């Protein structure tokens, strides 16, 4: 029986890139694999056929010979049985079953530390000492996990490869060595300090240089200050997460600051000059006559300089007219006399317009 065209088997065009060929074979292999179709001889044949096609088309020299001479150009070089398939399978599915060489000692975990900051420290920058509980390399064994004077030995099961190959029916799969757990080495005499772990718990004191302008959500990375890696592996990183504390006066929005400034009725009506705080000290704020509550005054450049550079933000002061409390009888009499001199439409235009609008709204229900 004549063999089918390899490109037709995989469903790819002639000249298709290697990645396309590989993807097509993976799709067929996952669908028709013998383990998934134990009682389906047709699926087994399709699987073998696709494997043979991939073995040729994934090899540049074989593919060139096949393109030029057809099946005659690759006779004896394709479909080499289970051993040949194992190589192909490892190439396509190595990322799933851990193919390839054993990696070095694993890297330690990254850590996070939440650093609460006052507005003043965040705006100006500061070096702060923090204490971080973590796993550090054992000094007794230098992170090897073996007792001082001894060393880990090569694993007798995998002979240092960190993996073993197991045959499962038609194909072979590489797995992490169960004896050394993929390390390739065994510790016969564990360290007395870390008990073979190569790491010990320790609280480190670190200095964190906080740059000026940081805000909630910003992160400061301290390379190599995370957990030490097992077996002497590279340490992870420490990420210091900035969290701003609430401030008694200011609210921050990016590089801008907001604050509420209470003023008296007299200052609001007659105008005046007040001292307001900023991050650089006190400044004068001029209140014009007839200022209404909620009025926003902008003081340019009195905010925070952004951590990534640029112009400083602004300080926005929102005035709140404060009603006087605990008045004496004399003060109340003076206010009543003053109240009698006011003409609603002239001296309280907002009040007059609001009540006019309210009256029209209510009158609309009675029609």
Strand 256-264 with 315-322, pairing = parallel
pLDDT tens digits for range 279-300:
999 999 999 999 999 999 999 9
Taking a C-beta distance cutoff of 8 angstroms, is the pair 199, 124 a contact? no
- As to burial, measured by CB atoms within 10 angstroms (0-12 exposed, 13-18 middle, 19+ buried), residue 205 is exposed
Q: Please enumerate in sequence order all residues whose Cβ is within 8 A of that of 290, keeping only pairs 6 or more positions apart, or say none.
A: 268, 269, 271
CA 211 – CA 209 distance, rounded (Å): 6
pLDDT at 367 exceeding the cut of 80:
no
What percent of the chain stands above pLDDT 90?
46
Per DSSP, the three-state class of 329 is helix
What does the pLDDT read at residue 102? 47
pLDDT class of 316 with cuts at 50, 70, 90: very high
Closest CA to 125 of 245, 219, 210: 210
pLDDT class of 163 with cuts at 50, 70, 90: confident
Closest CA to 56 of 79, 72, 33: 79
What does the pLDDT read at residue 100? 45
Does the pTM exceed 0.85?
Answer: no
pLDDT tens digits for range 65-117:
888 878 877 775 554 443 344 445 555 554 444 444 445 678 889 999 999 99
pLDDT class of 323 with cuts at 50, 70, 90: very high
Taking a C-beta distance cutoff of 8 angstroms, is the pair 317, 261 a contact? yes
């Amino acid at each position: 029986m004549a063999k089918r065209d390899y490109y037709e088997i995989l469903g790819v065009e002639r000249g298709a890139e290697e990645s396309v060929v590989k993807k097509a074979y993976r799709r067929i292999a996952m669908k028709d694999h013998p383990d998934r179709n134990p009682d389906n001889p047709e699926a087994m044949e399709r699987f073998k056929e696709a494997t043979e096609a991939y073995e040729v088309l994934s090899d540049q020299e074989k593919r060139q010979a096949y393109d030029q001479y057809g099946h005659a150009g690759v006779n004896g070089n394709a479909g080499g049985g289970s051993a040949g398939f194992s190589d192909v399978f490892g190439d396509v599915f190595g990322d799933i079953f851990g193919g390839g060489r054993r990696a070095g000692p694993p890297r330690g975990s990254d850590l996070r530390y939440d650093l609460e900051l006052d507005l003043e420290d965040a705006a100006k920058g500061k070096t702060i000492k923090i204490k971080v509980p973590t796993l550090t390399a054992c000094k007794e064994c230098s992170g090897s996990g073996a007792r001082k004077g001894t060393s880990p030995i090569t694993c007798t099961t995998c002979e240092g490869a960190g993996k073993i190959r197991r045959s499962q029916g038609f194909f072979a799969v590489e797995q992490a060595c169960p004896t050394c757990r993929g390390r390739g080495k065994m510790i016969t005499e564990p360290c007395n300090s870390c008990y073979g772990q190569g790491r010990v718990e320790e609280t480190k004191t670190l200095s964190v240089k906080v740059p000026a302008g940081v805000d909630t959500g910003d992160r400061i990375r301290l390379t190599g200050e995370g957990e030490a890696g097992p077996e002497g592996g590279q340490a992870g990183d420490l990420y210091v997460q900035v969290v701003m504390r609430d401030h008694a006066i200011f609210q921050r929005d990016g590089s801008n600051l907001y604050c509420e400034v209470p003023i008296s009725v007299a200052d609001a009506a007659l105008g005046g000059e007040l001292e307001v705080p900023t991050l650089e000290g006190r400044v004068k704020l001029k209140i014009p006559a007839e200022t209404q509550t909620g009025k926003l005054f902008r003081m340019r450049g009195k905010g925070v300089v952004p951590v990534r550079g640029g112009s400083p933000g602004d300080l926005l002061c929102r005035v709140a007219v404060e009603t006087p409390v605990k008045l004496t009888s004399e003060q109340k009499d003076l206010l009543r006399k003053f109240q009698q001199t006011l003409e609603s439409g002239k001296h309280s235009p907002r009040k007059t317009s609001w009540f006019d609008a309210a009256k029209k709204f209510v009158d609309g229900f009675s029609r």
